[in-house]
Each structure stands twice: as C-alpha cells, then as structure tokens.
C-alpha cells in the first residue's frame, strides 16, 4: 500500500519532468527547479514566516467559528424553537466565503481581522451544521433511556447528546478547517497588511514572473492542508474508539 503511494508520486514527478522539458517554458519549471526553490525558501526561513502568519490567521478565524458555530449548532438541534434560525442559516450558507471579501475589506480593512473574518465564514457553516446534525440524529430512545434512569435535561445534553454527537462534531471541525485553509489562501491573494502569508508569497512571485516560487508556495499550502487533515483524522480515531 505504502510503496504503491510512493510509486504514484514518483510517476507524477516523472510526467511533470517530461512535460516541463518538452514545453521548455520559463512558466513551467521542472520538479528539480521547484524543489530547489522550495528548499531555499525553507532554509532561509521565509517559508516558515509566511506559513506561520497564515496559520495564525486560520487559527483565529477557526477558533471563532468553533466558539460560535458549535454552541449554536447544539442549541439549534436541542431546542425545537431555535431551529427556526435555520431559515437564515440556509440562506447565508450558499454564499461562497470569497464573496464576503469585499464586505470584509469595507468593514475590517485589509489587515488580520479581515482575513480572520473570511476564515470564520468558511469554517462556521460546516461546524454548525455538523453539530446540529449530530444532535438531531441522536436516536430518541437514547434520550428516553437517559430519562428513565433519572437524568435531567442538562444531564441528557451533557452525558448523552454531546458524546453521541462527538464524531459528527469532529467531522465538522475537520471539514471546517479544510475550508478555512482554502479560504485563507484566497483571502491573502487580495491586498494584505502586513505583507506576509503563503497566499501573498504566491501573488508576489507571480508579479515577478517566478513560476518556481509560485509552485513552491502551492506545494507548501498543499502539504500543510494535508497534514492538518491527517492530524484531525488521527485525533478522531483516538477519541472515538467506541465507533464500529
């Protein structure tokens, strides 16, 4: 299985190399060229600085989305009256997070808050709807089983509904984080202050016509997104051992 994956990556790199040689264009650098640029960015610490700024923005927006989306989703699942809110939610959800960029710029300028806001929008909906779904799909007989054992409403929420929805909640976090990461890079493609971040790195390189730096930046974005997804999956496996 593992050797399989390594082989596929190898084939991909070989095809890239061949195409790059055939195209012989300055805008399609060879894998070796991109690898060298990547290494230089890494060893100079530039990549790390850009990535750290991007991660900080994602973390801020993501935590905010978690702090608002999770409780709201749980409450909407638990109180039938709160569910009416879903009219608004369902109308806002189809708006792509990037469509919020102009408004974010008007409200928050082009700094940290503006980026964090876009990320918040991106991560908010999956976190909310997965929490809502988890709560709503808790089988009624589990709730009744708690009731006949004497549990109060708040005990049922804490000791039955929440743990039972936990896999769904975690799933929402994973999807939310993935979307947040994608939104971030797009948000960074627009104006920025301070001029840092992986999205900014790419845009700046484009202005300079440096396709190798663009690709190195893209690889960094892909690797970090991949790593975050894997990390959350591992966490899920660890925390939800009770699932078949």
Partner 1 sequence: MITLEQVAKTIGELPILEAVSLSVKKGQFMCLVGPSGCGKTTLLKCIAGLRTYEGKIRIDGRLSQGINPKIGYVFQEFSLFPFLTVKGNMEFGLRIQKKPRKEMDDIVASLLDLFLLQGFEHAYPHELSGGMQKKVAIARALATDPEILLMDEPFVSLDAQTRNMLQKELLRIWNKTHKTILFITHNVDEAVFLADRVMVLTRRPATVKEEFLIDLERERDRTSPEFVSVRKEILKELEEEYVEQVDRGYKGL
Is residue 151 at the binding interface for partner 1, with CB under 8 A as the rule?
A: yes
Rg (CA), the chain: 22
Please give the angle made by the CA atoms of 206, 106 and 115, to the nearest 5 degrees. Answer: 50
Contact criterion met (CB below 8 Å) for 186 and 98: yes
Is residue 206 at the binding interface for partner 1, with CB under 8 A as the rule?
A: no
Is residue 146 at the binding interface for partner 1, with CB under 8 A as the rule?
A: yes
Pure H helices in the chain: 2-23, 31-44, 46-78, 86-92, 101-108, 112-136, 140-148, 153-156, 162-189, 198-207, 211-239
**Token digits for 22?**
């055939």
Is residue 91 at the binding interface for partner 1, with CB under 8 A as the rule?
A: no
Is residue 164 at the binding interface for partner 1, with CB under 8 A as the rule?
A: yes
Is residue 133 at the binding interface for partner 1, with CB under 8 A as the rule?
A: no
Cβ 68 to partner 1 shortest distance, Å = 25
Cβ 233 to partner 1 shortest distance, Å = 19
Is residue 137 at the binding interface for partner 1, with CB under 8 A as the rule?
A: no
Is residue 136 at the binding interface for partner 1, with CB under 8 A as the rule?
A: no
**Chain positions contacting partner 1, by CB under 8 A:** 139, 141-142, 144-151, 155, 159-160, 163-164, 166, 241-244
């Amino acid at each position: 299985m593992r050797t399989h994956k390594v082989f596929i990556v190898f084939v991909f790199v070989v095809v890239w190399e061949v195409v790059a040689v055939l195209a012989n264009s300055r805008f399609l650098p060879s894998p070796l060229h991109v690898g060298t640029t990547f290494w230089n960015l890494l060893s100079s610490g530039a990549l790390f600085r850009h990535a750290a700024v991007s991660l900080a923005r994602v973390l801020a927006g993501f935590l905010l989305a978690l702090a608002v989306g999770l409780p709201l989703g749980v409450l909407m699942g638990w109180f039938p009256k709160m569910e009416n809110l879903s009219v608004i939610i369902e109308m806002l959800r189809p708006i792509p997070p990037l469509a919020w960029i102009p408004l974010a710029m008007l409200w928050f300028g082009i700094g940290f808050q503006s980026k964090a806001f876009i990320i918040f929008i991106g991560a908010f909906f999956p976190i909310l709807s997965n929490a809502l779904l988890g709560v709503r799909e808790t089988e009624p007989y589990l709730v009744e089983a708690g009731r006949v054992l004497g549990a109060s409403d708040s005990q049922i929420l804490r000791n039955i509904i929440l743990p039972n929805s936990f896999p769904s909640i975690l799933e929402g976090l994973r999807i939310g984080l993935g979307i947040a990461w994608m939104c971030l890079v797009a948000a960074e493609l627009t104006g920025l202050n301070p001029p840092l971040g992986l999205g900014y790195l790419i845009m700046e390189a484009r202005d300079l016509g440096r396709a190798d730096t663009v690709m190195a930046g893209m690889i960094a974005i892909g690797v970090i997104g991949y790593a975050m997804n894997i990390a959350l999956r591992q966490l899920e496996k660890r925390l939800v051992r009770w699932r078949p």
